[in-house]
A and B are shown apart, each in its own frame.
Chain A
Amino acid sequence: MPELTLVEAVNLALARAMADDANVVVLGEDVGVNGGVFRATAGLQRRFGSERVVDTPLAELLISGLCVGMAAQGLKPVGEIQFMGFLYPCIDQLVNHASRLRHRTQGRLTCPMVLRTPYGAGIRAPEHHSESTEVMLAHIPGLRVVVPSSPERAYGLLLAAIRDPDPVVFLEPTRIYRAVKGEVEDDGEALPLDVAFVLREGRDVTLIAWGAMLKETLAAADALAEEGIAAEVIDLATLKPYDEETILASVAKTGRCVIVHEAARTAGFGAEIAALIAERGLLSLLAPIVRVTGYDTIVPLPRLEQHYLPSVDRITAAARKAVRFG
């Protein structure tokens, strides 16, 4: 099996989906001839033509709105927003149309679209290229929000997102686009959505993360193992709707939970998970939940961004605190 980077796995899934289904259309800025600024769509236009791999004008609202119109006609559009920092004009389309077209027409029109975008800090990018605002999207009823954390899951989850009959926002962590490699078989097999993945089993503490933060979280689990602490690591993978049962089952086992995300803390998705555990898993807790997150500040420009992102040390310290409590 070939070893691929995450961005290569995205490319492979797009090619597979386009080859399997003539309704799949890729559109966005620079996705065609240029193959995308991160090369996620490299080679697709040559293979599938400029009508199915569409270089759009520089207009993000348009890209998301086109997806809605195409999807209502039964196409399976996969729009690319070049960076999450430019996605905000699409919020109108996502909240007012994509997420509710099925509901407001009571099933008469549907919206099987995917909006992909690279997101997150840590690649020394210019301003507006590093935010992690997934929780804004995860708050929208009718939508799915999916975040892969490895090449294998990028392939399987993107295929699932494209085949899903409802709109999906697919957030691709730029920091691990090329920083992680993994074996990916181009077998056309999708992974399940709405399901969290237990990446590592352990009895002492549950570590929950998604996207790029799994890199540090898994490294923290290694470090903790050396200290004799067995951490269970959960990749949430789908943030909306998320897999409550896997989280609750793990916390019931470990009694301790650390939630890791690079987004700012206040009203971040970690707050949702903590609330779930407080509501439905409180009595299994042996220690307070700990959140290790980005700070409630603007994501700093590259000189300080490493200090903003949760580090392995911050995660291990939080896990120790949870394990030693009481």
Chain B
Amino acid sequence: MDDTPDPGQDFPVIARFEVRRRSYLGPDGVPLRALPSFASDQDLLLALYRGMVLTRTFDLKAVALQRTGRLGTYAVSLGQEAVSIGVASAMREEDVLLPSYRDNAALLWRGVKMEEILLYWGGDERGNRSSGPPHDFPFCVPVGSQAPHAAGVAYAFKLRKQPRVAVCFFGDGASSKGDVWEAMNFAGVWKLPLVFVANNNQWAISVPLKLQTASATLAQKAIAAGFAGEQVDGNDVIAVRAAAEEAIANARAGGGPRLIEAVTYRLGDHTTADDAARYRPPEEVQARWKEEPIARLRSYLVGRKAWGKSQEEQLAAECQARVEAAVERYLATGPRGPHTMFDHLYAELPAAYAGQRQELEQTSDA
């Protein structure tokens, strides 16, 4: 059955929409077109590069810690570093980040310490009382449920006439959830200063994008909510950064929300509790390694004579040292008494629960 309207009928077209795809660097790091102006700032590009390398070093170490029983389940961002770094680098301190559980790079960029991230995945809430901006949200574990929070945060900015922007990350799986749609719809109605970033890494655990949606893009989901959506090459950090910079500036200036769909690929397992080899062929993953973001930017920088072997070795050693030092601090974090699980339950522990807390305190003292 044909599902298109009968072209023989001369009904007027009442709306047309288009979605563009932004990219600057090809997979080999060769520019496809003129780069945005910030790309002439070599220090910035090097900072983006260092941020991605540090994240990957940290991620791989975290997996090693999990494999040796020193960390709980951990979600790696392998291959997706450019999405988080590109967006976070375009944010201001006073903006609010609402991350999913895979946005380690964005948290690190915004000042969260590596040992704090490890502490959280190591099973200790203190990791979320982090050194990043105090107004940022912690990792959101229930998929997509942070999107309505982002709308609430952005609403507060608008009500108080503050030039601040909320930035909400979610994945291709989350794009199927009502939470994300409800938040986008509201953001459109109220023209909120909110940038949605869909990290389209092709896989929601074992479910590929084609089983997630029949939409040609995730970016077009913004159109139904009344604002612009754009697709970017999520492995091209320059493209991500450029799209984020524009969307954030537009939101800050009162132009309302935007959706950036960053197309990337989850090179790692979903988490350390997952084995992706059970549901996707290794050839697919190998092919995607040719497009990954770190090698791409490095090729560009090397081509520009802005980077070389000695700098690469120096950076690798430096990242290793920083990660090792953070791991040491994480492992040295002292335990808490069991009764502290009652701390921060309410502003003040209700009288009804004082006895339970006391019971735990006495048990743990014994």
Give A contacts to B, CB under 8 Å. 25, 51-52, 54, 56-57, 59, 61-62, 64-75, 77, 89, 92-93, 96-97, 102-110, 141-142, 164-166, 194, 241-245
Q: What's the nearest-Cβ distance from chain A to residue B123, in Å?
A: 12
Find the B residue at minimum CB distance from A95: B142
Q: Say whether B156 contacts A141, CB under 8 Å.
A: no
Does B129 touch A at the CB level, under 8 Å?
yes
Q: Are A65 and B134 interface neighbours, CB within 8 A? A: no
Taking CB atoms, residues of chain A closer than 8 Å to B148 are: 61-62, 64-66, 68-69, 93
Q: Is B345 interfacial (CB 8 A cutoff)?
A: yes
CB of B178 within 8 A of chain A? yes
Nearest CB to that of A100 among chain B residues? B345
Please, how many angstroms separate the alpha-carbon atoms of A92 and B149 in the complex?
A: 13
Given the known inter-chain contacts A59-B185, A93-B145, please indicate yes or no for A243 contacting B152, CB distance below 8 A.
Answer: no
A57-B185, A65-B151, A96-B145 given; A106·B156 CB < 8 A: no
Whether A65 lies near B183 (C-beta < 8 A) is yes
Are A243 and B137 in contact (CB-based, < 8 A)?
Answer: no
Q: How far is the CB of A8 from chain B (nearest CB, A)?
A: 27
Determine the chain B residues whose CB is within 8 A of the CB of A61 once the complex forms: 148, 178-179, 182
Contact (A194, B352) CB under 8 Å given A57-B185, A66-B155 = yes
B135 beta carbon closer than 8 Å to chain A: yes
Query: A242–B352 contact, CB under 8 A?
Result: yes
A59 and B182 form a contact (CB under 8 A): yes
Contact B344 A65 (CB under 8 A): no
Q: Of all chain A residues, which has the CB nearest B141?
A: A96
Chain B residues positioned under 8 Å from A243 (CB to CB): 352
Chain A residues, Cβ within 8 Å of B69: none
Q: A65-B183, A66-B152, A75-B159 are in contact. List 20 more A-B contacts (CB 8 A).
A: A52-B159, A57-B186, A59-B182, A68-B148, A68-B149, A69-B155, A72-B135, A92-B142, A96-B145, A102-B344, A103-B345, A104-B125, A104-B128, A104-B138, A105-B129, A108-B130, A109-B137, A110-B347, A164-B347, A194-B350
Question: Assuming the A-B contacts A104-B125, A107-B129, are A69 and B151 also in contact, with contact meaning beta carbons closer than 8 angstroms in the complex?
Answer: yes
Considering only CB atoms, which chain B residue lies closest to A67 in the complex? Answer: B152
Contacts of B158 in A (CB 8 A): 51
* Closest Cβ neighbor of B353 among chain A residues: A241
CB pair B145–A165 under 8 Å, yes or no, is no
Q: Which residue of A lies closest to B147 (CB)?
A: A65
Give the distance in Å from the alpha carbon of A103 to the alpha carbon of B126 in the complex.
9
From B166, B344, B353, name the one whose CB has the most chain A CB atoms within 10 angstroms: B344
CA distance A93 to B146 in the complex (A): 9
Bound form: Cα–Cα A106–B126 in Å:
6
Chain B residues, CB < 8 A from A102 = 344-347
Would A51 and B138 count as touching, CB distance under 8 A? no
B343 close to A106 (CB less than 8 A) = yes
* Most chain B beta-carbon neighbours within 10 Å: one of A73, A110, A141, A245: A73
Q: Does B351 contact A (CB under 8 A)?
A: yes
For residue B75, CB closer than 8 A to chain A, the reply is: no
- Please give the distance in Å from B216's CB to the nearest CB on chain A: 26
Q: B193-219: which have CB < 8 Å to A? A: none
A-B CB contact pairs (8 Å), 23 listed: A25-B159, A51-B159, A61-B178, A66-B151, A69-B166, A70-B156, A73-B152, A73-B153, A74-B156, A75-B156, A92-B145, A93-B148, A96-B141, A102-B345, A106-B125, A106-B128, A106-B343, A106-B344, A142-B345, A166-B347, A194-B350, A241-B353, A245-B351
In the complex, chain A residues whose CB is within 8 Å of the CB of B179: 61-62, 65
Answer whether residue B60 sits at the interface, using C-beta atoms and an 8 A cutoff.
no
Q: SS class of chain B's interface: helix, strand, loop or mixed?
A: helix
- B145 to A65, Cβ gap below 8 A? yes
The residue that B151 contacts in the complex, of A25, A62, A92, A93, with Cβ under 8 A, is A62
Chain B residues with Cβ below 8 Å from A108 are 128-130, 134
Option from B149, B178, B344 in Cβ contact (under 8 Å) with A69: B149
The 9 closest A-B pairs by CB, nearest first: A69-B152, A65-B148, A73-B156, A69-B149, A241-B352, A62-B182, A106-B129, A241-B350, A66-B152
Partner among B155, B182, B347 whose Cβ is within 8 Å of the Cβ of A70: B155
Residues of A within 8 Å of B156, CB to CB, are 69-70, 73-75
Contact A65 B353 (CB under 8 A): no
| Docked-complex contact A194 and B128, CB < 8 angstroms | no
B61 CB → nearest A CB, Å: 24
- Could you say which of A66, A74, A92, A105 contacts B138, with CB atoms under 8 Å apart? A105
Query: Which of B130, B182, B353 has the most A CB atoms < 10 Å from its CB?
Result: B182
CA distance A272 to B344 in the complex (A): 24
Q: Are B149 and A72 in contact (CB under 8 A)?
A: yes
> Given the complex of chains A and B, what is the CA–CA distance between A54 and B155 in angstroms?
11
Q: Mark B149-175, 1 if CB is under 8 A from A, else 0.
A: 111111111110000001000000000
Residue of B with least CB distance to A107: B344
CB distance from A272 to the nearest CB of B (A): 11
Residue B273 CB within 8 A of the other chain: no
Complex contacts, A70 vs chain B, CB 8 Å: 152-153, 155-156
Which of B107-136 touch A at CB < 8 Å? 125-126, 128-130, 134-135
Q: Which residues of B contact A194 (CB under 8 A)?
A: 350-352
Q: How far is the CB of B225 from chain A (nearest CB, A)?
A: 10
Instruction: Decide yes or no: A62 and B183 within 8 Å by CB, A69-B152, A74-B156, A106-B129 being known contacts.
Output: yes
Given the complex of chains A and B, what is the CA–CA distance between A103 and B127 in angstroms? Answer: 12
Closest to A99 in B: B345
Could you say which residues of chain B place their CB within 8 Å of the CB of A242?
352
When chains A and B are docked, how far (Å) is the Cα of A65 from the Cα of B335? 33
Question: Does B44 reach chain A (CB closer than 8 Å)?
Answer: no
Q: Is B189 located at the chain interface by the 8 A CB criterion? A: yes
Which residues of chain B have C-beta atoms less than 8 A from A68's C-beta?
148-149, 152
Residues on the A chain within 8 Å of B345, using CB? 102-103, 141-142
Q: How far is the CA of A61 from the CA of B185 in the complex (A)?
A: 13
Instruction: Give chain A residues whose Cβ lies under 8 Å from the Cβ of B351.
Output: 194, 241, 245
Task: Say whether A77 contacts B182, CB under 8 Å.
Answer: no
- Within the assembled complex, what's the spacing in Å between the Cα atoms of A73 and B128? 17
Q: Are A142 and B346 in contact (CB under 8 A)?
A: yes
